[in-house]
Amino acid sequence: MTNQLPYLSIDRHDVLSREDFIQNYLKPRRPVIMRSFAQNWPALEKWTYEYLKQGCGQVEVPLYSEAFANSDNDYLDSTQSMPFGAYLDLIQAGPTPLRMFLFNVFKYMPQLRDDFSYPDLGVPFLKNHPFLFVGGQDAYVDIHYDLDHSHVFLTQMTGTKRVILYGSEDSKKLYRHPLTVSCNVDFRDPDLERYPKLREIQGYECILEPGDTIFIPSRWWHFIEYSTAGISLTLRAMPETWPARLAGLASIIKLKVIDQYLGKMIGEKKWYQIKENWAHARARKA
């Protein structure tokens, strides 16, 4: 039987002004879904599977499938590669756990940059780093938050996606692995006997449809499941203050470098088990 947690819904706006966004979502760090963010983007019509295939179907792309829950995989580890066009055919043919992560499609099709814009929402967008995410039905991304503490604006272009979010204050009760931005819980069917503290925190859930943009504030945990095959575009923005930006930089150094070093020293599997035990000890105290 599937374990269900009682999620709250996420605010949704057809139109959200800059001021409302800043006061009610950016400053208090609350997620929100907006239709107005991408309303004038030609990309929503133009970026069909066929169009992308014509533009860069031959490019060999890394693919991801393994969860990092229940394993010592890193969420940035790819498992295989294939030409982008063949991969698009694969996801249209039926469900597959294979997905693409952080794909810089603009390197191969720079003209795509003219098909979207950055709305003025009072945040410093990282304009050199728009990324495409593509996945087959049933693919999923285990819960994590972005290592560099950036804000995420994820726009669904085609297909639908289920998103589950938790605030950064819930890290310990999510059994976060120390020195990482991940944890071992599989949110498709969370094991509440093994992770009882999940009952004490409140998560949020939504289904994203084409044209929806979700704002995931800096350091918010996100789990993503492809309800159908689909494509989304993610724009990122730096946190507003310098201390928060420096904390993001420190996070990259601290988490990535130290975690990898200890994994090599101790052995990946043993280090993973140490982190899992440590996460349980911290959750019990939380």
Ligand X SMILES: O=C(O)CCC(=O)C(=O)O
Q: Which helix (H) or strand (E) holds 152?
A: strand 151-158
Q: Is residue 220 a contact residue for ligand X (CB under 6 A)?
A: no
Give the CA dihedral 92, 93, 95, 99, nearest 10 degrees. -50
- Tell me which residues in 12-31 interact with ligand X (CB under 6 A): none
Instruction: Rank residues 16 and 100 by Cβ distance to ligand X and give the closer one.
Output: 100
Complex with ligand X: residue 98 or 283, whichever CB lies closer:
98
- Is 232 among the residues that bind ligand X (CB under 6 A)? yes
105 binds ligand X (CB under 6 A): no
Residue of 26, 34, 152, 198 that binds ligand X (CB under 6 A):
152
- In sign, the C-alpha dihedral spanning 239, 245, 249, 255 is negative
Q: How far is the CB of 164 from ligand X (least distance, A)?
A: 12
DSSP reduced 3-state for 148: coil
Q: What is the DSSP string of 105-121?
A: GGGT-GGGGGG-----S
Shortest Å, Cβ 159 to ligand X: 10
- Compute and round to an integer the Cα radius of gyration of the chain: 19
Say which DSSP state 281 is in.
H
Site string for ligand X, 114-133 (x = CB under 6 A): -------------------x
Nearest distance from residue 174's CB to ligand X, in Å?
Answer: 15
- Around Cβ 239, how many Cβ atoms within 10 Å? 22
| CA–CA gap between residue 215 and residue 271 (Å, rounded) | 33
Question: What are residue 141's phi and psi, to 5 degrees?
Answer: -120, 120
Tell me, residue by residue from 154 to 173, as one string, x for binding to ligand X by CB under 6 A and - for no binding: x-------------------
**β-sheet bridge partners, residue 8:** 204
Q: Which of 43, 141, 157, 238 binds ligand X (CB under 6 A)?
A: 141
DSSP annotation of 177 reads P
When asked if residue 217 is in the footprint of ligand X (CB under 6 A), the reply is no
234 is a site residue for ligand X (CB under 6 A)? yes
Angle between helices 268-285 and 259-266 (to 10 degrees): 120
Residue 2 Cβ, how far from ligand X at the closest point, in Å?
Answer: 22
* Residue 135: CB minimum distance to ligand X, A: 6
Q: Which tokens sit at 142?
A: 């285990």
- Contacts (Cβ under 8 Å, ≥6 apart) of 171: 221
Nearer residue to ligand X within complex by CB, 212 or 283? 212
Distance in Å, CB of 163 to ligand X, minimum: 8
CB of 78 to ligand X, least distance (A): 13
213 near ligand X, rule: CB under 6 A: no
- The sign of the dihedral angle between the CA atoms of 27, 31, 37, 41 is positive
Contacts with ligand X by CB under 6 A lie at 99, 133, 135, 141, 146, 152, 154, 222, 224, 232, 234
